[in-house]
């Protein structure tokens, strides 16, 4: 069994919260972590602690994010690692400026529609050598460290190297993911050797060691990003590509560079919400919020988990995702209608397509005039600098290919390309595919929140639900992460998945409108898991939250 996800995300932020004197009656299970010092929220306690240790040793939020991400690649190798891509939003508190980083890799120059057609391939491969694009994560680390970091890359990677060498006990969620990937890993000899000791997946609590990954991280610690793209790691990757008959060449790695980009944003009620621009799906979250804003969510008969609110959000999702699929691709290669899709006027037109009484099963994109596997983390330091970071292999263990001696799986992000030449997301050499993984950021007054929720095509719709929980339903960041969610991974039809905490009466009323509900568990992985940090700049207090749908936690720096 393979599980689809969209990325891993790292987040650092802070947000204001008004306490509830009747705390014993609250709906949330966990409390927020509250501190005047730094907080790291991640999918693994070991990863969060690695980031916090860097903060305690004088590093800033970016240093801590790199350390946390590196550790996540060790302890959750099926979801993320140096064989995948990375995106980040960095808030510089002193400058009061938000920066975006796109560290997603391009397709090899020789990987084209014509190349695949010559091999008799008519649909984009979802695994194997022809799904591999250049991994961008390591170059992303270097760009972040060079521009913002205080620590050397070697210091930030030290805990991950040590853990890869000495091993770690496998946690619950990861053991389940691992067990479902055994047959897939056996399709590649190096993958099986790396991840299936004793020819099976490690069980909960068993210690797993990865000395090959420790070697790769040591190379990066010593020689920086060039170790991966030009040095000994690159040599091993290219040897593996040749062995599997893939088109990747030395220049594809050596000439790659990630880039800083300007975040895109919209307003929702009294919040401003930021995402990264295409090639990622974040624009769909902003368009969805714009459509939702035309309805009275949070008011009478439109409360949290009400029939009216859920119906509106599900229908807004369908419209925004239809636009995403039609119009979004690599913005470096073509002019995309981003400004139009982000406008309130466009949202007003699209909102008119929503029938308040009936679900729409054939939502189509509007007409513009010419002109899943992931890790997320967030960090906030004592000065208020924040990082929202997501990083991913795409699907569990990516392409299923491990270059012998490297200890990490190469991602299959190329599987998201289209083979339709007319699509803005059409496969081409040196082009980046449409990406599912997205970090996010929001602000209101003196509050800043860094957040992300993983899970492939779940992410934009989950971001919109999280913001509605804050803005319309007045939740704190922990309650907003825990709140029951819906998710629709498909683009057509009236199917929608919901957690069973949404009331039966509401589900019945939604079904009467035509929604075809697939009921999931209390805290289901299909609706994604997230992390969040918040800072209230008026008090200098930080807040952290961690989703119970993952193994992780939010950890505060010791004063």
Choose the weakest-confidence range: 64-78, 266-280, 324-338, 357-371.
Answer: 357-371
- d(Cα 131, Cα 426) in Å, to the nearest integer? 14
User: In this predicted structure, what is the pLDDT of residue 366?
Assistant: 63
Q: How far apart are CA 147 and CA 62, in angstroms?
A: 9
75-87 residue pLDDT tens: 999 999 999 999 9
pLDDT of 4 strictly over 50:
no
Q: What tens digit of pLDDT does each residue of 300-349 get? A: 999 999 999 999 999 999 999 999 888 888 778 777 888 999 999 999 99
Got the DSSP string for 412-437?
Answer: -GGGG-B--TTSTTB--TT-PPPB--
pLDDT (mean) for 401-428 = 95
> Quick one: pLDDT at residue 368?
53
Per-residue pLDDT, 373: 64
Look up residue 4 and give its DSSP letter.
B
DSSP code of residue 523: T
Is the confidence at residue 282, as pLDDT, over 50?
yes
Average pLDDT score over residue span 166-190: 95
Can 187 be counted among the known catalytic residues? Answer: no
> Quick check: 350 pLDDT over 50?
yes
Q: What is the DSSP letter of 410?
A: E
Question: Is it the case that residue 557 has pLDDT exceeding 90?
Answer: yes
Q: Answer yes or no: is pLDDT of 471 > 80.
A: yes
Mean pLDDT of 529-535: 97
Predicted TM-score of the model (pTM) = 0.93
| Given the residues 194, 374, 375, 406, the one annotated as active site | 374
Query: What's the average model confidence in pLDDT over 347-360?
Result: 96
Which residue in 27, 9, 14 sits closest to 474, CA to CA?
A: 27
Evaluate if residue 272 carries a pLDDT over 90: yes
Task: Give the CA diameter of the chain.
Answer: 68
More confident residue, 150 or 369: 150
Question: Are the CB atoms for 515 and 311 separated by under 8 Å?
Answer: yes
Residue 391 has pLDDT above 90, yes or no: yes
Which among 53, 85, 89, 98 is positioned nearest to 71, based on CA atoms?
53
**Which among 17-21, 360-364, 368-372, 402-406 has the top mean pLDDT?**
402-406
Kindly tell me if the per-residue pLDDT of 17 is higher than 70. no
More confident residue, 28 or 301: 301
pLDDT above 60 (res 128): yes
Structural domains of the chain, ranges and CATH numbers in brackets: 8-15+33-260+374-416 (no CATH), 281-372+439-543 (1.10.246.130)
Q: What is the pLDDT of residue 24?
A: 58
Q: Is the pLDDT of residue 14 over 50?
A: no
pLDDT tier at 455, thresholds 50, 70, 90: confident
181-201 core/surface letters (b: 16 or more CB in 10 A; e: else): beebbeebebbbbbbbeeeeb
pLDDT given at position 369: 46
For the sheet with 486-487, list strands across it: 486-487, 495-499, 516-520
Q: How far is CA 147 from CA 101, 273, 428, 436, 441, in A?
A: 11, 24, 31, 26, 19
DSSP code for 361: S
Tell me the mean pLDDT in the region 499-512: 97
The C-alpha atoms of residue 82 and residue 440 are separated, in whole angstroms, by 21
Q: Which of 87-91, 210-214, 261-265, 339-343 has the lowest mean pLDDT?
A: 339-343
Q: Assign 529 a pLDDT band (cuts: 50, 70, 90).
A: very high
Q: How far apart are CA 495 and CA 509, in angstroms?
A: 15
């Amino acid at each position: 069994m393979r599980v689809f996800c969209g990325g891993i995300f790292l987040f650092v932020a802070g947000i204001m919260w008004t306490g509830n004197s009747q705390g014993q009656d609250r709906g949330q299970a966990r409390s927020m972590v509250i501190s005047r010092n730094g907080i790291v929220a991640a999918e693994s306690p070991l990863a969060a602690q690695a980031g916090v240790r860097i903060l305690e040793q004088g590093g800033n939020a970016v240093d801590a994010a790199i350390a946390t991400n590196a550790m996540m690649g060790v302890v959750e190798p099926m979801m993320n690692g140096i064989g995948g891509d990375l995106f980040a939003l960095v808030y510089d508190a002193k400058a009061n400026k938000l920066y975006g980083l796109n560290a997603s890799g391009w397709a090899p120059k020789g990987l084209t529609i014509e190349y695949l057609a010559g091999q008799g391939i008519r649909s984009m491969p979802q695994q194997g050598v022809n799904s591999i694009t250049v991994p961008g994560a390591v170059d992303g680390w270097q760009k972040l460290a060079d521009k913002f970091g205080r620590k050397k890359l070697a210091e930030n990677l030290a805990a991950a190297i040590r853990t890869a060498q000495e091993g770690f006990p496998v946690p619950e969620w990861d053991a389940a993911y691992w067990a479902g990937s055994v047959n897939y890993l056996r399709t590649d000899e190096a993958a099986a050797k790396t991840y299936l000791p004793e020819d099976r997946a490690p069980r909960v609590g068993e210690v797993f060691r990865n000395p090959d990954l420790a070697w790769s991280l040591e190379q990066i610690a010593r020689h920086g990003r060039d170790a991966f793209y030009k040095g000994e790691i690159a040599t091993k990757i290219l040897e593996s590509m040749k062995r599997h008959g893939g088109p990747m060449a030395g220049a594809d790695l050596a000439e790659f560079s990630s880039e800083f980009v300007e975040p895109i944003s919209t307003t929702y009620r009294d919040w401003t919400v930021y995402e990264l621009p295409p090639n990622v799906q974040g624009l769909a979250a902003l368009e969805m919020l714009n459509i939702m804003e035309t309805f009275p969510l949070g008011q009478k008969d439109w409360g949290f988990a009400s029939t009216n609110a859920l119906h509106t959000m599900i229908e807004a999702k369908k419209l925004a995702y239809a636009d995403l699929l039609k119009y979004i691709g690599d913005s470096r290669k073509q002019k995309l209608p981003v400004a139009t899709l982000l406008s309130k006027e466009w949202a007003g037109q699209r909102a008119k397509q929503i029938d308040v009484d009936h679900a729409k099963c054939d939502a189509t994109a509007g007409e513009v005039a010419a002109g899943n596997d992931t890790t997320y983390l967030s960090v906030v330091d004592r000065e208020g600098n924040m990082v929202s970071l997501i990083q991913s292999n795409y699907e569990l263990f990516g392409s299923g290919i491990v270059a012998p001696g490297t200890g990490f799986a190469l991602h299959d992000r190329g599987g998201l390309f289209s083979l339709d030449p007319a699509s803005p997301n059409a496969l081409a050499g040196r082009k980046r595919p449409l990406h599912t993984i997205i970090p996010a950021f929001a602000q209101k007054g003196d509050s800043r929140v860094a957040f992300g929720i993983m899970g492939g095509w779940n992410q934009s719709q989950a971001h919109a639900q999280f913001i509605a929980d804050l803005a319309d339903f007045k939740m704190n960041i922990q309650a907003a992460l825990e709140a029951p969610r819906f998710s629709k991974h498909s683009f057509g039809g009236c199917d929608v998945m919901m957690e069973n905490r949404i009331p039966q009466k509401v589900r019945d009323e939604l079904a009467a409108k035509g929604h075809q509900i697939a009921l999931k568990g209390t805290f289901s992985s299909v609706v994604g898991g997230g992390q969040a940090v918040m800072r209230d700049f008026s008090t200098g207090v930080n807040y952290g939250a961690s989703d119970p749908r993952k193994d992780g936690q939010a950890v505060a720096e010791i004063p």
